[in-house]
């Protein structure tokens, strides 16, 4: 059984022009030409087109796809690899969908004019842990005094603006995490640099102190809860990104 190029275009969603291009470069040769001059494709050609479309979805170039298809690789093995990558992408999109769903629920359930419940004010009313303050004062006395003076000079409007910036940056980190971007990726590390400079408005942590702050994001249940409100696993992701930055830039 064979299908005309128009049939294949209708079934696959690939334009006739694209199918002709695939034919011309040898990626998807036609089976035969009809008396009317139209290309026709058989079942094996449709299976090859399916694999082409799968690999295009996975981000492979046409040259890379042709190399895979023209090699003598077991077709089932190739499809199994595609399937595994699609499952991984499914998990990533599921995580992103749950993050969006939580945000929608938050916006729908909270009174829109209640400042403390606005998503950009996750940290409003968040009081420092006295034990953590005491530890910071003992381990980094100069930094603690620097931070105390900086925060003491902030107006309520300054604090609210800072809280919005912090939450906005947490969302940017969540977007990197949802996209599967490694913690040591240059784009993530550029965002960590913004975070470090924001922290340095109050005190200038060395590598050990910055790693300690990153660990606190995970270990302190109140900090962790705010990260989790944005995306599950975000505290660990930002901790790992900060650890990479500390080792590369602060050591």
Q: Does residue 131 sit in the same domain as residue 218?
A: yes
Q: Does residue 17 sit in the same domain as residue 125?
A: no
pLDDT of residue 139: 60
CATH number of the domain where residue 197 is located: 1.10.490.50
Q: Does residue 56 sit in the same domain as residue 147?
A: no
CATH number of the domain where residue 57 is located: 1.10.1660.10
Alpha-carbon distance of 159 to 227, in angstroms, equals 19
Is residue 89 domain-resident?
no
Q: Does residue 179 sit in the same domain as residue 235?
A: yes
Q: Does residue 133 sit in the same domain as residue 42?
A: no
85-106 b/e with 16+ CB inside 10 Å = b?
A: eeeeeeeeeebbeebeeebeee
Is residue 100 domain-resident?
no
Is residue 170 domain-resident?
yes
Is residue 230 domain-resident?
yes
Q: Does residue 66 sit in the same domain as residue 114?
A: no
pLDDT of residue 190: 94
pLDDT of residue 131: 55
Of the candidates 31, 40, 35, 36, the residue with the CA atom closest to the CA atom of residue 5: 40
| Domain containing residue 202 | 110-250
Q: Does residue 119 sit in the same domain as residue 211?
A: yes
Is residue 102 domain-resident?
no
What 3-state class would DSSP assign to 122?
coil
Q: Does residue 67 sit in the same domain as residue 124?
A: no
Q: Which of 15, 48, 72 is the last residue of a domain?
A: 72
pLDDT of residue 140: 58
Q: Does residue 52 sit in the same domain as residue 128?
A: no
Q: Does residue 13 sit in the same domain as residue 127?
A: no
Q: Does residue 55 sit in the same domain as residue 123?
A: no
Host H or E run for residue 40: strand 39-42
- Which residues have C-beta within 8 Å of that of residue 243, sequence separation ≥ 6? 183, 211, 214
The ranges of the chain with pLDDT < 50 are 111-128
> Is the model's pTM score more than 0.85?
no
pLDDT of residue 99: 62
Total domain count, the chain:
2
Q: Does residue 52 sit in the same domain as residue 120?
A: no
Q: Which of 47, 72, 97 is the last residue of a domain?
A: 72
Is residue 86 domain-resident?
no
Looking at the DSSP assignment, which residues form a beta bridge with residue 33? 39
DSSP 27: S
């Amino acid at each position: 059984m064979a299908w005309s190029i128009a049939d294949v275009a209708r079934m696959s969603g690939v334009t006739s022009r694209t199918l002709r291009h695939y034919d011309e470069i040898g990626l998807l040769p036609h089976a035969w030409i009809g008396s009317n001059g139209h290309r026709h494709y058989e079942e094996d050609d449709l299976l090859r087109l399916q694999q082409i479309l799968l690999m295009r979805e996975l981000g492979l170039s046409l040259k890379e796809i042709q190399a895979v298809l023209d090699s003598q690789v077991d077709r089932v093995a190739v499809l199994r690899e595609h399937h595994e990558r699609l499952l991984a992408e499914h998990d990533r999109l599921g995580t992103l969908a749950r993050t969006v769903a939580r945000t929608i629920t938050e916006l729908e359930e909270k009174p829109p004019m209640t400042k403390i419940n606005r998503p950009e004010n996750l940290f409003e009313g968040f009081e420092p842990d006295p034990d953590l303050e005491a530890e910071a004062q003992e381990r980094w006395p100069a930094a603690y005094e620097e931070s105390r003076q900086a925060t003491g000079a902030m107006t309520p409007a300054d604090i609210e603006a800072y809280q919005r910036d912090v939450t906005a940056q947490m969302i940017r980190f969540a977007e990197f995490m949802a996209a599967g971007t490694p913690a040591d990726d240059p784009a993530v590390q550029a965002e960590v640099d913004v975070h470090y400079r924001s922290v340095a408005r109050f005190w200038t942590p060395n590598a050990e102190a910055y790693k300690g702050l990153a660990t606190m994001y995970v270990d302190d249940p109140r900090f962790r809860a705010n990260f989790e409100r944005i995306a599950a696993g975000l505290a660990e992701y930002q901790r790992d990104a900060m650890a990479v930055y500390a080792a590369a830039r602060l050591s």
